[in-house]
Amino acid sequence: MKAPNRISACVLVVFALTAVAVRADDSPPKNLKLVGDHWTPWDPPSTFPEGAEVYTIERGDTLWDLSGRFYSDPYLWPQLWERNRYILDAHWIYPGDPLVVGFQVTPLEQLADVEESAPEEEPESMFDTSSEGPMPLGVESDIYCSGFIGEPGRSFPNRILGSEYQNLGPTLTSNRYKRRTHDPLTAPTAKVGLYTGDVVYLEQGRAAGITPGTVYSIVQPSELVHHPDSGALVGQLYRYMGRVRVLSVQESSSIAEIVFSCDAVNVGASLEPFEPEPVPLRRRTPMRGINDPEPWEELQNGPSIVLASDEIVTLGQNHIVYIDAGSRNSVEPGDMFTVYRRSATGLPPMVVGEVAVLAVHESSSVARILESRYSIYVGDKLSPKDQ
């Protein structure tokens, strides 16, 4: 994951699009085309909704800086990206492209006229926040430093074979050193944990279709996950450790740089093609009322929290959890679920909190706890929240 302040507006000349010209980040889009008076790879709209406030991107702009200017908070850059879906990669915005930054507010005098003619209505709830605009449901690291639950023993198309640190010192078992020591070392110099900026060697190369600029997610297979109630095998956890970008390619290997790390990366880690996932936006609404729980009969066969990030036992607001429902269950990023706990006395289940889905995989999803009345635990049940 790149920090949001590196989401750059770039002026690129067509013949300058080479791997050498790019920093060790994701490759810029190719196939620039002339749109009006500027070059861009995107298809910017020519018309906008009524009342839209449109800004023209200038050289040096970033979504991070523009969010700070227009929303007074640079961390809301995903909201700015969400309003401009034609930008397919948030890391590359282009001078001359239009950017919808908001919508004009109806003047107060017009609102007064409307209010006088409209009948008075009682609000549904004094805690109703549905009038607020969409808000990010998390941050990038919640997605790119989490992982997914998949089939045990899953194979991956590439892996890290070694690092530069294995070549920094001599192997003292060679003939040139045997006469100088009676207890030669048997291993070369090595660094156990690798981080951002370290150079690594990959198993696949040109023969496998690898090209400079290719970006991979670093994946570390981890523990098997069993359902907390039935004990049935749910799958295996695959943790995201960071990202690498290929610098150069040989016939059967590649040289790459770690461009982002969530934790220590080890030689032998698996790689899969990186796919950007924007942080979902959603309007927040009040949590389901404690006096109106779902019947337990409708919850017991529904999804559950099956794993917590970092093996945390007592969970609360902002903790990351994994649920046993994914795309095959029609779950989508931005979906919200009410968290329930079964009553030990056979009474109605208790509402304990609310989670929002950040990333979806085939049979599992990554979610963030938005609100918790009490501690939340692995095994608590989930019910889709009515929006």
Whole-number pLDDT of residue 325:
95
Torsion of Cα atoms, 288 then 290 then 294 then 296, to 10°: 140
Query: At residue 15, what is the residue type?
Result: F
Q: In sequence order, what are the residues at sequence separation of 6 or more whose Cβ sits closer than 8 angstroms to the Cβ of residue 77?
A: 4, 7, 63, 64, 66, 67, 90
pLDDT of residue 73: 75
Q: Provide the residue-wise pLDDT of the chain in tens; the chain has 387 residues.
A: 334 444 444 434 333 333 333 333 457 887 899 999 999 999 999 888 777 889 999 998 998 889 888 877 777 777 788 788 899 888 899 999 999 988 664 444 443 444 444 444 433 333 334 445 688 898 888 999 999 999 999 999 999 999 888 776 655 555 555 554 444 444 455 567 898 889 999 999 999 999 999 999 999 999 999 999 899 999 999 999 999 999 999 999 999 999 999 989 999 999 999 998 889 988 888 888 888 888 888 888 899 999 998 888 999 999 999 999 999 999 999 999 999 998 888 789 999 999 999 999 999 999 999 999 999 999 999 999 875
Separation CA 187–CA 329 (nearest Å):
49
What distance in Å separates the CA atoms of residue 40 and residue 43, rounded to the nearest whole number?
8
Asked if 196 and 259 count as a contact pair (C-beta separation under 8 A), the reply is yes
Neighbours of 114 (CB within 10 A): 9
Tokens of 366: 């990554």
HEC per residue, 257-308: EEEEECCCECCCCEEEECCCCCCCEECCCCCCCCCCCCCHHHHCCCCEEEEE
- DSSP string for 325-343: --GGGT--TT-EEEEEE--
- Length reported for the chain: 387
Q: What residues does 273 pair with on adjacent strands?
A: 216
The whole-number pLDDT of residue 236 equals 96
How many CB atoms within 10 Å of residue 40?
Answer: 22
Provide the token pair at 130. Answer: 């549905």
- 148, with CB counted inside 10 A (0-12, 13-18, 19+), is buried
Distances (CA, A) of 64 to 147, 170, 253, 354: 25, 46, 36, 29
